[in-house]
Structure 1
C-alpha cells in the first residue's frame, strides 16, 4: 500500500509525464483539425499509465520505477500521434498553392480536391493541373505507409443519378490507378463513388455545383498503427 511519503515520487512522475506529453503542440492547431497534437494526447496518456505501472512493478523504489515507466510508455504511446503530425505537416507544405485543402480530425487526415483542378466536365481522365498534386501525394504516401487511403469521388446533381454515381466511381478509380502507377501499395487503397449524394454546397448555383464536384482522399491508421 502507498504511504504519503512513498507516493510523492510517483505523483511527481505522473505530473512530469503529463507535462512531457503536452509539450508538443500541433503547429496547425488554429486551422481545422484536432487542436492538440496526437503526440501530446497519446504520449501523455501512455506516460501516465506507464508511471503507475512502473511504480507497481518496482516495489523497492516506486519513484524510480514510475519515472522509467513514464518515459518508456510515453515514447511508445506518442508513436502514431507523432507520425500523423509529421505527415500532416508535410502534406500541408506539398499541397500549398495547389488548391487542395488539408483537414485533420483526430487520427484522420482528409484532402479535399476541387473539381476545377481534377477532371474536365463529364470526364474521368485526369486533368493536367491534377498531376502535380497527385505526384506530391504519391511521394507522401510512399514515405508514410501506415495509413489506409480511401478515395471518394463526388459530383453535382446535374444529369441522372445513375450516371453521376458511375462517373464519380470512375474518377475515384482513376486517382487510385495513378497513385498505384507511382508506387503506392494498392492494398492500402479503396475507392467509392458517392455521386451527388453528399453535397457540401447548394446545387442551385454554379459555385455550389463546382464545390460539389470534388475528390476526397481520407487517411486513417492501419490496424495496429495506433
Structure 2
C-alpha cells in the first residue's frame, strides 16, 4: 500500500466531491424555460390563455361596489402580490379593462369604468410594473359577464379584467 501525502489525499477528496456534484447536476430536474415559468405563474394567479393573451377571468376578476372606483385594501394586497409575481417572470405589459353595470347613463358608466381601470393600474404600478406599460380602457356596460337585472348580476359586471398580451 502506497502512503499518500496530505496534499495528494486532499486533491483526491476534492476530485471525488467535484465528480459527485457534477453527477448530481446531471440528474437534477430540467430547468424550466422562461416562457414555461411565466405561463405557470399566470395560471397560478388565475389567468387563462386566450387568443388575446392571458386573461384574468372569473372568479379572479376584481369587483367594485356600486358607483365606486375604490380598490379595497384586500384587493390592493392581492394586486401588489400579483404584480410582483408577474414582474418576476418578465411580464412587462398589461391591459386593464374597466367595466360597469347597466345602471346609469352610458357616458357616466364609461368614465366610471375608466376610473376603475386607472385605480387598478396604479396599484399594479406600485408593485413595480411601469405605469406607461399598462394600457387602460374604460368599457362601460358594453361587455357584461352576467345577464339579468338582479343585484348579484350587476355586482358581477362591476369589475376590472386584466390581460397580458401575447408577446
Normalization by structure 2: what TM-score? 0.69
Contact 1:115 1:211 (8 Å CA) reproduced: no
SS at match of 1:210: helix
What is the rounded CA distance, in whole Å, between the counterparts of 1:185 and 1:89 in structure 2? 22
The structural deviation recorded for 1:147 is: 4.6
Change (3 A) 1:170 1:114: farther
Alignment-derived partner of residue 90 in structure 1:
41
SS at match of 1:195: coil
Q: How does 1:156-195 map to 2 (within 5 A)?
A: 156-195=101-140
Structure 2 unaligned residues grouped into runs of 5+: 1-31
Structure 1 unaligned residues grouped into runs of 5+: 1-78, 96-100
Change (3 A) 1:84 1:218: farther
Alignment-derived partner of residue 5 in structure 1:
none
Which residue of 123, 136, 145 corresponds with 2:90?
145
State the structure with more CA Rg: 2
Deviations 1:17-67 (A, max 9, x none): xxxxxxxxxxxxxxxxxxxxxxxxxxxxxxxxxxxxxxxxxxxxxxxxxxx
Deviations 1:124-144 (A, max 9, x none): 121122023201221123213
Change (3 A) 1:140 1:107: farther
Higher relative contact order (CA 8 A, sep 6+): 2
The structure with the greater share of residues assigned to helix is 1
Change (3 A) 1:122 1:114: farther
Range with bigger deviation, 108-117 or 164-173: 108-117
Contact 1:115 1:210 (8 Å CA) reproduced: no
